[in-house]
Amino acid sequence: MDSVARLDAMKLRLRRLGDRAALAFALFLVISPAVFVMFWMLSLAFKNEIDNIAYPPVWIPNPPTLANYRQVFERCPFGLYTINSVIVSGSATLIGLVLGVPAAYGIAKGKAMSVRNAGSWVCAALAASLVLAGSASPAAESRPRGVAIDGLYDYDGYPPYIRLLECLYLPPRAGEKETVRLKFYAYPHLPRGTVVTLTLEYMGADYVSKDFTFEGGEDFAVDWVPAVRLASGEYYARSRIYLEKQNPQVREAIRMDALHFPFDQAPWPYLYMREDLAIVVGGGLTSLEEYEEIRRIYEGFTKALFANYEEFREKAEAAKAGKAFASDGKFDPKAFEEYVSEWRKRQAELQEKILDFQFENPRLFVESRTAYLRLLFLGRMVSKISRKLEKSVVEAHGAPEIQPATPRGFDSYYRYPVDEKALGVERDVIFRIVESLKPQPEERGGSEAEEGLEEGR
């Protein structure tokens, strides 16, 4: 009897264990996709643009960067959006508590209700919640405005306040800068003195912005000299009206005109995305000065990377020969570890400068993005080969493995084997790509296209 009881108890424990394992596996299958998506979103937030499109994918940012968050706060009033969200969510919660707590108290202290009455109360509560949710939802989603459908302007939630009629890109000429010429029609409900923020979007992202003040009248033109050079490609104009940028009179006029400026749609974006309104910037560099600047930048970065590599290689060879990092004729791993940590710090600073190039000069980055990608690879290759040399020094002396500091920005992720020959090949590839960007003489002279633009001037 005891053996049968023990056997039954064991079966029961095994059954319970199997049930728990099955439940855990089912929960894993259900939760893992959501966890993966959240992890991937978090990874994208801290990666640079090159790592975001790298193949194979870079799962863990190396190095992580806050540049994406900095751009969000620089290019749009994200702080204002956050405050608005806190106000709306806090107000909704407060109203729910004010209405729900007394009702819950009355239900709890009241007489017992019949099942039918309880069902009626539940149905009424559900209907009321749906009505409140519908009234609280915005009239329309804040979608891009001005999207063309069959040649017509499409808007939803509020009518446009300005309409883009014409656009023209004027390339730089001798002694001048490139200009974007825009002509708008202003609707009567746009207050005089309104500050309109115009943005040129490139590949779905804000590229450059500038504020213009509407001085009145139906038609008004803008000659815009962008603060940064425009890269080759198609741009579309987007307009926004930020309340915090308006004078008190304009701010009050906008607030009083809920029909044309519903508050929940601020800052009232409008995207002029018709094909005939695309601002097309010609391909390639437009002057030898730009080409020389790109060449100077890439020469500076490659020379600095190779200087770092040569210094580390010489130190490593001296250490293996017992001519450096030695104390009383013996290899001093602590001194070598301190040197590697200091060298990695300088290498990390150089790699971060290379990463910052894409933000400091977006036009030259876009025009030379293939060479830039190879430059990033070159920096990673130098960092990776330093690890290889570091390991060879330690193994040559039979010393324990050292643990030098790895500063933020030090990136040694490179999937292929690296040696000195590979570094030279990568440098040659970079300069062949840069050389291909050099504008040809016939592309910089007078042309029919330029004559047509001269007539447009």
Per-residue pLDDT of the chain (457 residues; tens, 9 = 90+): 567 677 777 878 888 888 888 888 888 888 888 888 888 888 888 887 667 766 677 788 877 888 777 776 765 666 777 888 899 999 999 998 888 888 777 777 665 454 445 555 555 555 555 444 444 444 333 333 444 333 344 454 577 888 888 877 877 776 677 888 888 888 888 888 889 998 888 767 778 888 888 887 777 778 888 877 777 677 888 888 898 888 889 888 888 888 888 877 788 888 877 766 777 776 555 567 778 888 999 999 999 999 999 999 999 999 998 888 888 778 898 999 999 999 999 999 999 999 988 878 777 887 787 888 889 999 999 999 999 999 999 998 888 888 898 898 899 888 788 888 889 989 998 988 888 888 766 544 444 444 444 444 3
> Is 196 domain-assigned?
yes
Half-sphere exposure of 267 (CA within 13 A, CB side): 20
CA distance 244 to 198: 15
Question: Is 323 inside a domain boundary?
Answer: yes
Q: Are residues 415 and 305 in the same domain?
A: yes
377 and 259 within one domain: no
Do 360 and 424 contact (CB within 8 A), yes or no?
no
Same domain, yes or no, for 277 and 293?
no
> Tell me, what's the pLDDT at 87?
92
Which of 260, 281, 302 is the last residue before a domain boundary? Answer: 281
Statement to judge: residues 294 and 344 lie in one domain: yes
Residue 146 structure tokens:
């001005």
Q: Which of 281, 309, 337 is the last residue of a domain?
A: 281
Q: Closest by alpha carbon to 273, among 151, 421, 116? A: 151
Q: Structurally, how many domains does the chain consist of?
A: 4
Residue whose C-alpha is closest to residue 229's, from 167, 291, 305 = 291
Same domain, 123 and 166: no
Same domain, 229 and 322: no
pLDDT at 24: 86
213 and 87 fall within a common domain: no
Omega into 267 within 30° of 0, i.e. cis? yes
Q: What is the pTM of this model?
A: 0.45
Among 281, 308, 329, where does a domain finish? 281
Distance separating alpha carbons of residues 299 and 120, to the nearest angstrom: 78
| Judgement on whether residues 214 and 321 belong to the same structural domain of the protein | no
Residue 77 phi, psi dihedral angles, 5° rounding: -75, 70
How many Cβ atoms from other residues are within 10 Å of residue 380's Cβ? 19
In a domain, 270, yes or no: yes
Same domain, 297 and 376: yes
Asked whether residue 208 falls in the same domain as residue 261, the answer is: yes
Question: Which domain range does residue 98 map to?
Answer: 76-136
126 and 22 in a single domain? The answer is: no
